[in-house]
Amino acid sequence: MADFTSGFWSIYITVLTVLGIAGCALLLWSQSTVKIDIPENGEAETTGHVWDEGLSELNNPMPRWWMWLFYITIVFGVIYLALYPGLGTYAGKLGWTSHNEYEAEIKLADAEYGPLFEKFEKTDLKVLAADPQAHAIGERLFLTYCSQCHGSDARGNKGYPNLTDKDWLHGGEPSVIEATLLKGRNGVMPPMAAAVGSAKDVENVAHYVRSLSGSNADPIKAAFGKEKFAACAACHGADGKGNQAIGAPNLSDKTWLYGGSIATITETINGGRNNVMPAFQEFLGDAKVHLLAAYVWGMSNAAAESK
8-64: pLDDT as tens digits? 888 999 999 999 999 999 988 887 776 666 666 656 677 778 888 778 877 777 788
pLDDT at 45: 72
286-295: pLDDT as tens digits? 999 999 999 9
Q: Around Cβ 106, how many Cβ atoms within 10 Å?
A: 10
User: Average pLDDT for residues 70-75, to the nearest whole number?
Assistant: 94
User: Average pLDDT for residues 228-257, to the nearest whole number?
Assistant: 94
Query: For residue 145, what are the contacts with CB-CB under 8 A and spacing of at least 6?
Result: 280, 284, 292
Please tell me the pTM assigned to this model. 0.70
User: Average pLDDT for residues 74-101, to the nearest whole number?
Assistant: 91
150-197: pLDDT as tens digits? 999 999 999 999 999 989 999 999 999 999 999 999 999 999 999 999
| pLDDT for 304 beyond 50 | no
% pLDDT > 90, the chain: 69
% pLDDT > 70, the chain: 93
Q: What are phi and psi of 215, to 5 degrees?
A: -80, 160
Q: Around Cβ 250, how many Cβ atoms within 10 Å?
A: 19
Asked if residue 279 lies in contact with residue 179, where contact means CB atoms within 8 angstroms, the answer is no
| pLDDT for 92 beyond 50 | yes
- Domains along the chain with CATH numbers: 2-83 (no CATH), 106-184+278-306 (1.10.760.10), 188-277 (1.10.760.10)
Residue 148: CA atoms inside 13 Å, Cβ hemisphere, count? 5
